[in-house]
């Protein structure tokens, strides 16, 4: 690994981009300046106060669509546990780079940015590269939505998503359907509950039904869809009958399932006392394993893994859910140096060995694309 990748990763980690509340502006401005000094054409685009996306292009001189990389610079909160290492990137041991976003996924952004700079002669003599760097990914791909709505996405031939996979090529991930379920009752004095309708009781009945709800059939690769109730809120004070309760449902799906059908089936199962609205609707992603470019990515990755590589998916979602349809469904691989198990964890880290592998691997894929 070149020292440039580690240095850039630490610089990106040094910015507090925790989402919520979300503030990528300073980090994006720094990264834009760095990219411009390296010869990229850079466009910054805001999608709210201190919310920023970035598109960087290094055009080639040959016909054909460029290779694209995508990553996000927002991170999840630090959590309630005490960190033993600086969450903003200053701690490096002989083996690990620590920081919020080290695995998910600022180290990957640094690795593919430096790989592009290293191989810019091949890029400019070939078909070029594009980097799509978003904000707001962690809360439902808000930045990607804004780029699509603004019509800013350039045509691309293939997409590499730098999410944490320990440098294992991953051909897809589950979809995410987040629903808000609400019950409404009638308030009354807590000493006279018979005069009211308790919305918490209505929600409790609905939650009992949800425990037995099946979102849909299993998928050969992604297996059974999952459902989790992650948040509930009801009532204003102890001595009143609550007239409103809401709870949020997280359903993870596969390509064989239609989100509209899942929502309708859940609406029917819960009955008239529950109103359902959609918070996040992100389809599953799955690329064809026999695609020639995907096959070449597997070939390049195989030397990093002892066992024969197999088709693999991830349970988390990525910006690819929205980017791929908007880009007319190019082949896509999820491939990054971060450890999947370290995403969102206290004392999050990226192994330096993985970071070095990723920089080299991205470089090989860049050159292969230009010569393809």
Catalytic machinery residues: 74, 137
Give every CB contact of residue 306 below 8 A, 6+ residues apart in sequence: none
- C-alpha distances in angstroms, 290 versus 68, 178, 295? 20, 32, 6
Which of 234, 227, 313 lies closest to 263, judged by CA?
Answer: 227
Residue 295: φ, ψ to 5°: -60, -40
Token pair of 20, please? 């919520």
- C-alpha distances in angstroms, 77 versus 100, 318, 348? 8, 18, 12
Token pair of 56, please? 């960087």
What is the rounded CA–CA span in Å between residue 308 and residue 13?
Answer: 34
Pairing of strands 128-134, 67-72: parallel
Residue 49: Cβ-neighbour burial (10 angstroms; 0-12, 13-18, 19+): exposed
Contact 165, 332 (CB under 8 A): no
Measured N-to-C along each axis, helices 352-371 and 107-118 cross at an angle, to the nearest 10 degrees, of 40
What is the rounded CA–CA span in Å between residue 60 and residue 277?
Answer: 45
């Amino acid at each position: 690994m070149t020292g440039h990748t580690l240095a850039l990763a630490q610089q990106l980690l040094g910015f507090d981009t925790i989402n919520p509340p979300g503030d990528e502006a300073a980090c994006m401005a720094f990264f834009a300046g760095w990219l411009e000094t390296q010869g990229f054409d850079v466009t910054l685009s805001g999608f709210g106060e201190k919310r920023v996306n970035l598109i960087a292009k290094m055009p080639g001189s040959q016909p054909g669509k460029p290779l694209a990389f995508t990553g996000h610079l927002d991170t999840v909160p630090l959590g309630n546990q005490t960190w033993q290492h600086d969450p903003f990137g200053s701690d490096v041991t002989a083996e690990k780079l620590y920081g919020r976003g080290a695995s998910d996924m600022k180290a990957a952004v640094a690795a593919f940015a430096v790989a592009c700079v290293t191989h810019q002669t091949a890029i400019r003599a070939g078909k070029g590269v594009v980097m799509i760097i978003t904000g707001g990914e962690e809360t439902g791909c808000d930045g990607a939505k804004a780029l699509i709505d603004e019509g800013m996405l350039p045509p691309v031939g293939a997409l590499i998503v730098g999410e944490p996979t320990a440098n294992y090529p991953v051909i897809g991930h589950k979809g995410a359907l987040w629903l808000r379920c609400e019950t409404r009752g009638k308030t009354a004095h807590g000493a006279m509950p018979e005069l009211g309708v308790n919305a918490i009781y209505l929600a409790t009945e609905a939650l009992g039904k949800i425990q037995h709800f099946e979102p849909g059939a299993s998928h050969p690769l992604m297996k059974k869809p999952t459902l989790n109730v992650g948040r509930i809120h009801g009532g204003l004070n102890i001595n009143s009958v609550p007239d409103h309760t809401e709870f949020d449902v997280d359903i993870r799906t596969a390509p064989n399932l239609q989100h509209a059908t899942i929502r309708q089936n859940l609406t029917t199962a819960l009955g008239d006392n529950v109103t359902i609205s959609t918070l996040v609707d992100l389809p599953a992603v799955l690329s064809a394993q026999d695609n020639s470019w995907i096959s070449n990515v597997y070939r390049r990755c195989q030397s990093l893994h002892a066992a024969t590589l197999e088709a693999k998916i991830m349970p988390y979602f990525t910006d690819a859910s929205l980017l791929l349809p908007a880009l007319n469904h190019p082949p896509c691989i999820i491939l990054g140096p971060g450890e999947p198990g370290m995403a969102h964890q206290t004392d999050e880290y990226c192994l330096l060995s993985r970071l070095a592998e990723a920089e080299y691997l991205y470089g090989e894929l860049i050159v292969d694309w230009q010569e393809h």
